[in-house]
Amino acid sequence: MSKENASLLGGRYRLVRELGRGGMACVYLARDETLQRDVAVKLLPPAVLDEGAAKRLEREARLAAAIHHPNAVVVYDFGADGGRPYLVSEYVEGTTLAGLADRGLGRFAESAALLLQPVASALGAAHARGVVHRDVKPANVLVSTDGQVKLADFGIAIAKAATSRLTGEGLLTGSLPYLAPERIDGREAEPPADVFSLGVSLYELASGALPFGGDSPAAMAAAVLAGRCRPLAIACPTAPPSIAALCHRCLSSDLAVRPRDGAELAALLAAVLAEEGIAEPAAELQRYLRAPEAYERALGIRQGRRCADQARAASSRGDLIAAAQFASRAATYQPGLEVAELVTPPRRRGRWGVALALGALAAVGAGGAWSVHRRRLEPRRLEPIAGAPPAPAPDSSKRPAVSLPLPVAEVRPRALARRSHGGRGPLAGEQGGEFPPAHVSLRTEPWAQVFVDGQSVGYTPTVRELTLPPGRHLLRLVNPYHPIREAPLTLGPGQSLDLDYALGAEAGAN
């Protein structure tokens, strides 16, 4: 047992075990012997013990103690023992939003917004007190086992009314991937900087990637300053337009575009969640935190059905572009769903209505309306598939068309007893016989709709494993932002094959 554990800290707190360690402090689980409760104690190690560090810890205690909100960690006490300052706060047993993300949770934009809405509310309380957090990120959001989400670590927070600077002139504080462009540019932190950080967190939870990439810190900072952000609709195909638009508002370099503070962002998140059928975020969050995996499975099914119903409704009133948007989202929620079946034009439109519906599907894909895709796309020429009718000659008088995969009925693929949805069962076909099936591990960058022998089996990254009968197959990857990729596969009994495709690269550069 260490010397720190041998006696009571401040005559009151018995250190139990270390919870975490950073460059400036160690955090311990401790027992408050006076009130008989577990607490978290942040203690400065001797290596960083100086007057400046002690003042920063005291400032953190004062700023955090001034914020009274159910979604902010409560500070109980501040003191010093043997010249070593310490801060005592509530102990939140559980994990962090970063820990949830590591488990593959928060993968829908709706669930990411659901988790971050109370964080925005806590930021609103801080901003109302003149406090800017300056280090908002998933690792600083605690998720308790009893269903609470709490913003923590006000270690580098700053009060706008502060008259002294404790971080040093020109010193950039915070975590680079979450820093707002004005802070990288050397300007003082304002509430919109926290809004930007929360926007990065929303993007990261929903897509599994950061919005601004770079091979080095300098490259990442340049991407943030230049606003080079990959659209959330591409990184997360299921992202509703309302949530994607709000996320990109938060990520704007124009402070006038961003929500002005946490309170406004919390209200906007609640509004977009209600628009997506989640009218009671607090109750939904409790259900989510009780069983995250089960909740997200149910959410995918629920939202997929909702989008399918919206697609049919839009189709029935003749709005085929909107129908295609909803249908494409429904298919990403529910891999294997036949998108074309949801976009059925009114009977009076006849052949022209069907052509318009297929054109809408091609233009929208899984990312948005035609206006998003008007850049020139030059898919490589595909060899005709056996049994498919000849493709019509292009009409140069019309706008360019995005290639649409051939309908299943026209391709006439081999008989397949069932489809593979992420490796959940073999494709038992004519070629398989009694031989063991082959297994294909598939990765694409970015996402793609996957067709095997003309049949859609879903979207990557949801589809990661394919179980196929031995023999010859045709793999087709479709993303409306990139040329279509095709790969003939010849698989032996029991064979395992790893495929990794970069759709934006030249053919053959996999």
Catalytic residues: 135
The DSSP H or E segment spanning 96 is strand 94-96
Place of tokens 């075990």: 17
Residue at 510: amino acid letter = N
Torsion angle (degrees, nearest 10) of CA 427, 432, 437, 440: -60
Query: What whole-number distance in Å separates Cα of residue 44 and Cα of residue 25?
Result: 5
Task: Return d(Cα 65, Cα 449) in angstroms, integer.
Answer: 50
- Pick the closest to residue 67 from 152, 2, 147, 177 (CA basis): 152
Q: Strands across the sheet with 26-32, in order?
A: 13-21, 26-32, 37-43, 84-90, 75-81
Half-sphere exposure of 324 (CA within 13 A, CB side): 22
Q: What is the CA radius of gyration of the chain?
A: 27
Q: Which of 315, 193, 165, 303 is nearest to 242 (CA)?
A: 303
Please list the residues that pair with 38 across neighbouring strands.
31
CA 183, 187, 188, 190 dihedral sign is negative
- How big, in percent rounded to 5, are the helix, strand and coil portions of the chain? 40, 20, 45
Please answer whether residues 220 and 214 qualify as being in contact, where contact means their C-beta atoms are separated by less than 8 angstroms. yes
Distance, CA of 266 to CA of 137 (rounded, Å): 16
**Residue 100 in contact with residue 112, Cβ under 8 Å?**
no
Per DSSP, the residues of 286-345 read: HHHHHSHHHHHHHHHHHHHHHHHHHHHHHHHTT-HHHHHHHHHHHHHHSTT--GGGG---
Q: Is 354 helix (H, G, I), strand (E, B) or coil?
A: helix
- The single-letter DSSP state of residue 461 is T
Is 446 in a helix, a strand, or coil? Answer: coil
Q: How far apart are CA 149 and CA 71, in angstroms?
A: 6
* Token duo for residue 29: 């689980």
| DSSP characters over 138-184 | GGGEEEETTS-EEE---TT-EETT--S-SS-TT---S-GGG--HHHH
